[in-house]
């Protein structure tokens, strides 16, 4: 099974991807996807986007930039810059983001509300001579509808008209955000009808989740995880084990690695963030997920209350000294990302 790390805005930039590969990945993650780039009228990348896609900041070869747009013109110039200036030969289109500000502009999962425009977008993109001549690969990360899943088969038919590198499916509609059950029947339809390789994304947070998924869909060859690997980075060992069901974790070692991983991410973020407040806020985002695998959460409150860097570091030290990692059978995240 191929394992991909999902793009999570504010979390999975290179300051997390590189430490993850160093501490946990070590070749186990088949693709890392960047948080989305949003093309603008200036035809220039933002500073933070440039920093995140800069090859010097990406020690892994298997990084895939994600782009969010509903304009084929903007998509094409972005692809050209990513290819010519940074050497990226595969680009991912975001057709799944449920954010209200994104959807209101017809982007992300908002793109799924106008199928004629979406088909025209793909036709103009795939018929572009530059993209054809340079054999640039395009994948799509999609939801199964905007306000309902009634048109999922129609959406799938559009994707089938084009040679995508992959179709990554998060089987929820936009209004689900990240709540409600994933609609596995919609994913099953794609497995049966898609002419493109299908990747699953959604609610694989634990070993049990993964085993249940591969039991239901033994023919699926790749899965994308976001929240699950942020909460429990060592879960990657289970996913890549020859026998995931019987793989025995060393939870003490996993705790040591979690401490190292946290320290490496903090070091990388402090290099680019001025002042304690911003860096601490970004680190707290990680703890909103990682706290779910701790056997005692009471010391997490000290981490979340900290405002100054020394205070934060001390709170994390106390937390890691007083708690242990547990492998949960089930995780139910609060409404975040």
pLDDT band per the 50, 70, 90 thresholds, residue 334: low
The answer to the question of whether 307 is labelled as a binding residue is: no
Handedness of CA 160, 142, 137, 130 (dihedral sign): positive
pLDDT band per the 50, 70, 90 thresholds, residue 336: very low
What are 177-188's pLDDT values in tens digits? 998 899 999 999
Topology of domain 2-239, CATH: TIM Barrel (3.20.20)
Q: What is the mean pLDDT of residues 116-125?
A: 98
**Residue where the block lists tokens 């017809």:** 106
Handedness of CA 96, 102, 104, 105 (dihedral sign): negative
pLDDT value at 297 more than 90:
no
Both tokens of residue 154?
């129609």
The predicted model scores a pTM of 0.95
Q: What is the mean pLDDT of residues 32-42?
A: 94
**Alpha-carbon gap, residue 305 to 269, rounded angstroms:** 19
- Report the catalytic residues: 97
The answer to the question of whether 284 is labelled as a binding residue is: no
pLDDT value at 337 more than 80:
no
Q: What percent of the chain has pLDDT over 90?
A: 92
What are 13-27's pLDDT values in tens digits? 999 999 999 999 999
The answer to the question of whether 263 is labelled as a binding residue is: no
The answer to the question of whether 179 is labelled as a binding residue is: no
What are 189-222's pLDDT values in tens digits? 999 999 999 999 999 999 999 999 999 999 999 9
Q: Is 294 helix (H, G, I), strand (E, B) or coil?
A: strand
The answer to the question of whether 66 is labelled as a binding residue is: yes
Of 260, 262, 256, the closest CA to residue 282 belongs to 262
Tell me what pLDDT residue 296 has: 87
In the chain, which ranges are E strands?
Answer: 2-5, 31-33, 63-64, 66-67, 90-95, 137-142, 167-169, 198-201, 222-225
- Judged by average pLDDT, the poorest of 124-138, 147-161, 271-285 is 271-285
The mean pLDDT of the chain is 95
Q: How many residues does the chain have?
A: 337
- Phi–psi pair at 225, nearest 5 degrees: -120, 140
């Amino acid at each position: 099974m191929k394992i991909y790390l999902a793009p999570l805005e504010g979390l999975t930039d290179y300051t997390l991807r590189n430490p993850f590969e160093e501490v946990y990945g070590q070749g186990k993650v088949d693709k890392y996807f960047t948080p989305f780039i949003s093309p603008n009228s200036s035809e220039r990348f933002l500073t933070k986007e440039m920093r995140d896609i800069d090859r010097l900041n990406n020690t892994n070869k298997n990084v895939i930039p994600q782009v969010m747009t509903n304009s084929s013109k903007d998509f094409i110039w972005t692809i050209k810059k990513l290819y010519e200036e940074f050497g990226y030969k595969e680009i991912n289109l975001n057709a799944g983001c449920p954010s209200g500000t994104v959807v209101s502009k017809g982007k992300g999962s908002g793109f799924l509300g106008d199928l004629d425009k979406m088909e025209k977008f793909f036709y103009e993109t795939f018929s572009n001579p530059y993209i054809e001549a340079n054999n640039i690969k395009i994948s799509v990360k999609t939801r199964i509808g905007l306000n309902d899943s009634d048109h999922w088969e129609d959406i799938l038919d559009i994707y089938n008209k084009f040679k995508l590198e992959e179709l990554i499916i998060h089987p929820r509609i936009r209004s689900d955000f990240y709540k409600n059950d994933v609609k596995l029947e919609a994913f099953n339809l794609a497995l049966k009808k898609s002419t493109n390789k299908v990747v699953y994304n959604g609610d694989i947070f634990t070993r049990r989740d993964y085993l249940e998924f591969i039991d239901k869909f033994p023919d699926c060859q790749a899965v994308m995880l976001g929240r699950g690997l942020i909460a429990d980075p060592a879960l990657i060992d289970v996913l890549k084990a020859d026998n995931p069901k019987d793989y025995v974790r060393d939870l003490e070692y996993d705790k040591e690695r979690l401490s190292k991983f946290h320290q490496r991410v903090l070091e990388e973020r402090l290099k680019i963030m001025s002042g304690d407040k911003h860096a601490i806020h970004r680190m707290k985002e990680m703890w909103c997920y990682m706290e779910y695998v701790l056997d005692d959460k009471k010391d997490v409150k000290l981490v979340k209350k900290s405002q100054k860097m020394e205070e934060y570091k001390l709170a994390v030290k106390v937390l890691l000294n007083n708690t242990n990692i547990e492998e949960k059978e089930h995780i139910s995240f609060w409404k975040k990302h």
